[in-house]
Amino acid sequence: MDNVLLAFETGAGMLWKALWALVFGYIISAGIQVLVRREQMARALGERTPAKAALAGFFGFISSSCSFAALAASRSVFAKGAHPANAVAFLIASTNLVIELGIVLWVLVGWRFTLGNFLLGLFMMIYAYLLTSLLLPRKLAEGARDHAETQMSAENADEEEEGGENRSWKEQLRSSAGWNAIASAFVKEWKMVWKELLFGFTMAGFITVFVPQSFWNAIFLIGGATDSADPGFLIVLENALVAPVVAFFTFIGSMGNIPLAAMLWSKNASFGGVMSFLGADLVAATVIWVHAKYYGWRYALTLSALLYISMVAAGISVHYFFKFAGLIPDARPPVEEMVAFAIDYTFFLNLAFLVVAAMLFLLHRRTNKAALRERSSKNHGGLPSSAEDRRKK
């Protein structure tokens, strides 16, 4: 029982450490989603060129970090005409390059992991771009696009953005409608990710407490080297190959994988292995299943193979880039040290951002109530409600 309580305490401590960064990141994400329309993205991404792929990466960078929201957004962009190479670039960027992901990584394990994760996303986009012409031929891609369009029609998917008026971002930020839309997008983000985050942090706590070091040493080889910067190429390769397999069984997305990545680093996985794991939310079992639903099993499995190769190669590339730059961290702080509670800057930042989050939730609730009253009024055609009629009688 003591170990169970310790596991929950460890997971809660990691969540507390990252809480302000999560709120801050999702505020930024919500604001950008309101200000940039998805149909504009799709129109700009119809050709397969490096410049268009880079633009797709930028659109992904400013979008939602929730893996399942990213899957839906990528499907929408693809179905509306984006080239598959650009849709894949968008998908990778929206789960690896987003702002909130980098902030939380910085808070938990340091700025070098934030930089490494950013480079990981860039390398993954490059490798995926090169592989799409080989693994995603036109016939397969067109079949997947037709499947996606059929699925979206069946779901009556409504891709209009909140606050979708054709106004500049400055005008939206100065208007109450713009802030109402941002609040709604913020709440929508949290509704999508709170279970994933809770599960990810709780799992990290239980794994830290109950899984012995010997298990991690068995699946993530460490060899005889004590230098984390130079464990040997075969060790880095094995770690990068195994990390996505571990992620396959976590069933969670990019934000939920962060505490697990911090835990893996504390358990002596190589830097390249941790990097590969951070990119591996795109091959989690649930993600592959969603891709199959969106595009059909053939395209989903081919896309998953493409992403797996890309993340393994990217993890190795980032490891050796950091090695030659002398940037691989030496310290491997235990998880317990990462999450020690104190009245420090984290405490006050959490309080401040919780207040901001509460204000956005209240604004969203008020906006929803006003919208319901307006719809009710329209449905009654401006006539008194039946309850009022009965009172008059």
What per-residue confidence (pLDDT) applies to 161?
43
Residue 277 forms part of a structural domain: yes
Residue 254 forms part of a structural domain: yes
Instruction: Decide: residue 392, CB within 10 A, 0-12 exposed, 13-18 middle, 19+ buried.
Output: exposed
10-residue mean pLDDT profile of the chain (393 residues): values are 83 81 77 67 80 90 70 81 91 85 85 95 96 91 89 55 56 81 85 77 81 82 64 92 87 71 86 93 85 91 96 97 93 70 82 94 88 71 51 49
Identify the residue whose tokens are 């938990």. Answer: 108
Helices (H), ranges, 136-284:
138-154, 169-174, 176-210, 213-219, 233-248, 254-266, 271-278
Residue 382 forms part of a structural domain: no
What per-residue confidence (pLDDT) applies to 191?
83
Residue 48 forms part of a structural domain: yes
Residue 361: give the domain boundaries.
2-368
What per-residue confidence (pLDDT) applies to 287?
84
Max intra-chain CA distance, the chain: 89
Residue 119 forms part of a structural domain: yes
Rounded alpha-carbon distances, angstroms, from residue 250 to 232, 283, 315: 27, 10, 19
What per-residue confidence (pLDDT) applies to 124?
97
Residue 293 forms part of a structural domain: yes
pTM: 0.73
Residue 148 forms part of a structural domain: yes
Taking the C-alpha atoms of residue 366 and residue 360, their distance in angstroms, rounded to an integer, is 10
Please count the structural domains in the chain.
1
What per-residue confidence (pLDDT) applies to 164?
47
Residue 91 forms part of a structural domain: yes
